[in-house]
Amino acid sequence: MAKARKKQALGRGLSALLNDPDKDIKSVEDKDADKIIGNIVELDLDQIEVNPFQPRSSFNEEQLEELASSIRELGVIQPITVRKVDRNNFQLVSGERRFRASKIAGLKSIPAYIRIANDQESLEMALVENIQRQDLDPIEISLSYQRLIEEINLTQEEMSVRVGKKRSTITNYLRLLKLDPVIQTGMRDGFISMGHGRALVNIDSTEDQIKIYQNIIKEKLSVRATEELVRKYNSKEDKKSKPKTNQNAYEASQKHISKFFGTKVNIKVNQKGNGRIIIPFASEEDLNRIQELLENK
């Protein structure tokens, strides 16, 4: 407990340094920056604004109340992270649940780890921190990966290093965004798992995706059962996509060509619709006759 008080006293001392108009720290090069940046400071909640780059858009009110109750009893155990915007203004990078719950708990200040970052760095920090959370649904993680690619211009390889995940893992999450929005919502609400989603993404038709999704919920299908259902679906689709060839359809052409060459011509066609015409000849003289027919045609 004494250790906690000492840390809070240190934070208040740093707060006084932050509020000194003659020592407005804007970069790591400024005087006394090392005393502020990278340290835990007790900040007034009114000095902190929420992060406009926060990837998370929804917060469970019941869970916030539970966290607020814990904060009333024990205080904020893990500091939030903020970036310095102006002399008396800071912006959240991570820890919005703790920030919101502290307000509900009636706190006036909160311990904060201070950084200096530009907008892009702030977005990247917020996204990476968000991905590391344990309570995110697969779609929230997928959207965070997508934003890192589109807004931070990270490649999947670079992102793999930043977030400590295999590239194949990142690819699997990004593929979930190809699912119909109805299915994405179902995954966010916990009706199906990421495993179900990974199976469904192998179906090209969004209409059929939804049909199978509804069947999963109705029959309470496991991931393995869903994978088998998708495999059978794709097997049927493959058979449908193969053009059906009917040798009888080529009989008229075969008769016409046979009549022209004066010999029985044979037409062979495969499943893809490709084929060949076989023109038999009885002798060298017969071959010359056929050749003359072709030359004169």
Same domain, 273 and 209: no
Percentage of residues in the chain with pLDDT exceeding 70?
A: 74
Angle, CA of 210, 211 and 216, to the nearest 5°: 90
Same domain, 108 and 134: no
Same domain, 18 and 49: yes
* Domain final residue pick, 93, 117, 141: 117
3: pLDDT strictly greater than 60: no
Q: Residue 248 has what pLDDT?
A: 60
Specify whether the CB–CB gap between 88 and 48 falls below 8 A.
no
The pair of three-digit structure tokens given for residue 39, joined into one six-digit string: 């340290």
Same domain, 158 and 102: no
215: pLDDT strictly greater than 80: yes
Same domain, 187 and 265: no
Q: Residue 226 has what pLDDT?
A: 94
Q: pLDDT, tens digit, for every residue of 37-85?
A: 667 888 889 989 887 756 565 677 888 899 999 999 888 888 888 887 7
pTM for this one?
A: 0.50
Same domain, 236 and 251: no
Same domain, 285 and 190: no
* Domain final residue pick, 241, 264, 279: 241
94-110 burial code (b ≥16 CB/10 A, e <16): bbbbbbbbbbebebebb
Q: Residue 225 has what pLDDT?
A: 94
CATH number of the domain bearing residue 47: 3.90.1530.30
Catalytic residue, from 96, 140, 251, 295: name it: 96
* Domain final residue pick, 241, 263, 284: 241
Of the pLDDT bands very low, low, confident and very high (cuts 50, 70, 90), residue 105 is very high
Concerning whether 96 is annotated as a catalytic residue, the answer is yes
Residue range of the domain that includes 70: 2-117
Same domain, 257 and 231: no
30: pLDDT strictly greater than 70: no
- Rounded CA gap, 63 and 67, in Å? 6
Same domain, 62 and 131: no
Q: pLDDT, tens digit, for every residue of 161-208?
A: 888 889 899 999 999 999 998 999 999 888 999 999 999 999 988 899
Q: Residue 5 has what pLDDT?
A: 38
Domains held by the chain: number: 3
- Rounded CA gap, 59 and 140, in Å? 12
Same domain, 12 and 113: yes
Same domain, 154 and 229: yes
Of the pLDDT bands very low, low, confident and very high (cuts 50, 70, 90), residue 114 is confident
Pairing of β 266-269 and β 275-278: antiparallel
CATH number of the domain bearing residue 226: 1.10.10.2830
Same domain, 236 and 252: no
Cβ neighbours of residue 114 under 8 Å, at least 6 residues apart?
A: 36, 37, 38, 39, 40, 41, 82, 83, 84, 90
Of the pLDDT bands very low, low, confident and very high (cuts 50, 70, 90), residue 2 is very low
Q: Residue 4 has what pLDDT?
A: 40
